[in-house]
Amino acid sequence: MPGFELFGSKERQQVQDVLDSGVLMRYGFDGMRNGHWKAKEFEVVLSQKMQVKYTHLVSSGTAALTVALASAGIGAGDEVIMPTFTFVASFESILALGAVPILVNVDDTLTLDPKAVENAITKRTKVIMPVHMCGSMANLGALKSICEKHDLLLLEDACQAIGGSYHGKPLGSIGDLGCFSFDYVKTITCGEGGAVITNNGAFYENAHKYSDHGHDHIGNDRGAEKHPFLGYNFRISELNAAVGLAQIGRLDEFISIQKRNYSILRDALSQIPEVVFRRVPDGGEENYSFLNFFLPSEELARKAQKALGEAGVDGCFYWYDNNWHYYRKWEHLTTPKSLGKLPQEVLDSFQDYSKVDFSASDHWVGRNISCLIKLGWTEEEVHARAKKMVEAIKKVI
């Protein structure tokens, strides 16, 4: 990852088709298109790839999460369980609908701990939202069982994990709804874009209407379409969809390259006894976009991450101190700070972050180093990188 590393003739041709037609919008202008409907084509291919009935493209991964929640009727006061380790879009999408994010601990998968999820459920809980961070999944079997037990929805945030699988099924396709991001640094990219996938026809109908101001998309006269309910503008453009259409056709190629590079690095680090790798749930296969491992202590993890940088090994992240991906730096949520007033119903339901215990998350994330796997590396470059990583970590330990 990311897909922009390997832009080529396929992406250029798809974009050129759109520019030649002059139609940059995904809806309408039928006579000008020369038969090109890039968003629709992308949706068909993605549905096939993800083994689902329905796909709807939107403007971003954040939009995908928001639309997915809205399509399932999530709104004021509803609680959505999410992990402490994710991107801020997870709670942004929840708050945008007047719902309440409930943060719970992660375990050694770096995703939702099922036991913590079970303990966080209240009468207001409506959704469990695992986030498949850095390309690997939560224990979806356990989470599905919890959802069935409590009659909850399972929404997979697979924004960082396209191409991964769980018991042979593509990530994103296992829950009631799944979401992807196609921003500039994802495994496949549109520049900006996202998608909602589902096998639920009602959710799909809600999603494509809600993301386009409530348009019902019936007939071929956009101005005559009806609006069955309120919506917003989360549309993707044809230009963005064109890039994604080319890239989705290359997904298997990208995953294969990532797996090769990941495996070389992991094999090298395996010779260090103190290095323990992130647990992938039984039956799961990550998409190999990041190599995640733990060191024996937070102190050693900090030293190792610094040593890797000094050795010229870029792209190794220490998420524990990250402003955007871990709860410790989310002051704008925990305070909370908002340009407009948040609904009182939301404020009344917020967790008391001065008292909530996230030490279990700290135990894992504080000892974790996460290394980006690039598509553009040659095999020789990966072996050289592996040697540098081993030497740097051994010096610290």
Of the candidates 217, 178, 252, 235, the residue with the CA atom closest to the CA atom of residue 39: 235
Determine the Cα–Cα distance for residues 307 and 322; give it in Å rounded to an integer.
18
Inter-residue contact 112 to 106 (CB < 8 Å): yes
- Amino acid letter for position 103: L
Q: Angle, to 10 degrees, between the axis of helix 89-96 and the axis of helix 61-71?
A: 40
Instruction: Give the CA distances from residue 180 to residues 99, 159, 236, 317, in Å, rounded to whole numbers and listed in that order.
Output: 21, 4, 13, 22
Beta bridge partners of 179: 157, 196
The pairing of beta strand 177-181 with beta strand 153-157: parallel
- Residues forming a β-bridge with 85: 326
Residues in the chain: 397
**Cα distance between residue 240 and residue 207, in whole Å:** 19
Catalytic pick among 49, 186, 209, 374: 186
Helix (H, G, I), strand (E, B) or coil at 364: helix
Half-sphere exposure of 215 (CA within 13 A, CB side): 18
Cα pseudo-dihedral 372, 3, 284, 93, rounded to 10: 90
Residue 105 and residue 27: Cα distance in Å, rounded?
42
292: nearest Cα among 164, 114, 135, 120 = 135
* Run of H or E residues at 148: helix 140-150
123 annotated active-site: no
Note whether 55 and 78 are within 8 A (CB): no
Where in the sequence numbering do the catalytic residues fall?
Answer: 186
